[in-house]
Structure 1
Amino acid sequence: MWKYYALLSAVFASLTAIFAKIGIKGVNSDLATAIRTTIILLLTWGIVFFSGVEDRIKDIGLQSWVFIILSGVATGCSWLFYFKALQIGCASRVAPIDKLSVPITICLSFLILREPVNFKTIIGGLLITGGSIMLLLK
């Protein structure tokens, strides 16, 4: 089932780039990111309340809080830089370069999380890296 969620994530990430590129024209990228984040905040809290899991917030441990907060900071930084890149660059070049997060995640998951890496994972990461580098070249 996780593969379907990952594929849906990719589809919506693609739409994010297209919609953002259209919407950000003439708008400060930081302001656009703040508006986007507000929409996400309302949407996700709506889902939490609709599904009735808001009372589970008290069960979150300190370590989870720390890493969820760090993840939020990293996401915020990623979005700010992504919107700025979209504002001044082509979406068809910005989005694939942003996907360098995949090989970076592969490396960090191996180094930090001690997740196994196999031949297919290495080749896939190298292909993504190669494609991103190709798009960086003029």
Structure 2
Amino acid sequence: MNSPFSSWQAWALLSASFAALTAIFAKLGVENVNSDFATFIRTCVILLALGAILTATGQWQPFGTVSGKTYLFLVLSGLATGASWICYFRALKLGDAARVAPIDKLSVVLVAIFGVAFLGEKLSTPNWLGVLLIAAGTLLVAYRG
């Protein structure tokens, strides 16, 4: 019998659930603190949690076993993540979580476009329709009417 945690769909749903909680907790957390400092605290928590997970599961590996190309892309990913978090926390400081989070999720639309443009991924007509609906839904949720 397959575990639900052996599918990418289960992990993606968990990711979405935790991302939703992130928006709510972050909105409450940035209320009385600078958004960049709030991002720093969040990052420290993530570092400690991941270090504990790697230690508990024995998944540490020697840094020398990672290729230069992998390091390059992970560093770029880390910089993009950091920039995203800084912008996200600043947006939450200034706006409603119910409007900020959907706009942040335009990343889904951008990933589809970038995946096709840079990774050679293929999307079918129904996939593109979904991408357009996500974009339209994002705009409707963010609309202040």
Give the TM interval when normalised to the shorter protein. Answer: over 0.9
Q: Which residue of 2 aligns with 1:87?
A: 93
2:144 is equivalent to residue 121 of structure 1:
no
Q: Deviations over 1:69-121 (max 9, x none)?
A: 00000000000000000011000000001000001000000111101111222
Identity of aligned residues (%): 45
TM-score (norm 1): 0.95
Write the distance in 1 (CA, Å) between the matches of 2:56 and 2:105: 32
Cα separation, partners in 2 of 1:56 and 1:115, compared to 1, 3 Å: farther
Kindly indicate whether the alpha-carbon contact (under 8 Å) linking 2:102 and 2:142 is maintained by their aligned counterparts in 1: no
The answer to whether the Cα contact below 8 Å between 2:30 and 2:93 also exists between their aligned partners in 1 is yes
Partner of 2:105: 99
Which residues in structure 2 correspond to 1:1-138 (within 5 Å)? 1-138=7-144
Distance (whole Å) between structure 1 residues aligned to residue 79 and residue 118 of structure 2 = 18
Q: Following TM superposition, where does structure 1 have runs of at least 4 consecutive aligned residues deviating by more than 4 angstroms?
A: none
The aligned amino acid for 2:132 is L
- The whole-number CA distance in structure 1 between the counterparts of 2:41 and 2:63 is 25
By how many angstroms is 1:134 displaced? 2.2
Cα distance in 2 between the residues matched to 1:57 and 1:50: 18
| Displacement after TM superposition at 1:59 (Å) | 1.4
In structure 2, C-alpha distance between the alignment counterparts of 1:94 and 1:86, rounded to whole Å: 6
Aligned length: 138
User: d(CA) in 2 for partners of 1:50 and 1:57?
Assistant: 18
RMSD: 1.1
In structure 1, list runs of 5 or more residues that go unmatched. Answer: none
Segments of 5+ residues of structure 2 without an aligned counterpart are: 1-6
3-state secondary structure, aligned to 1:27: coil
Q: Secondary structure at the match of 2:123?
A: coil
Distance in 2, Cα, partners of 1:135 & 1:6: 22
Q: TM-score, normalised on structure 2?
A: 0.91
Q: Deviations over 1:35-54 (max 9, x none)?
A: 00000011111111211121
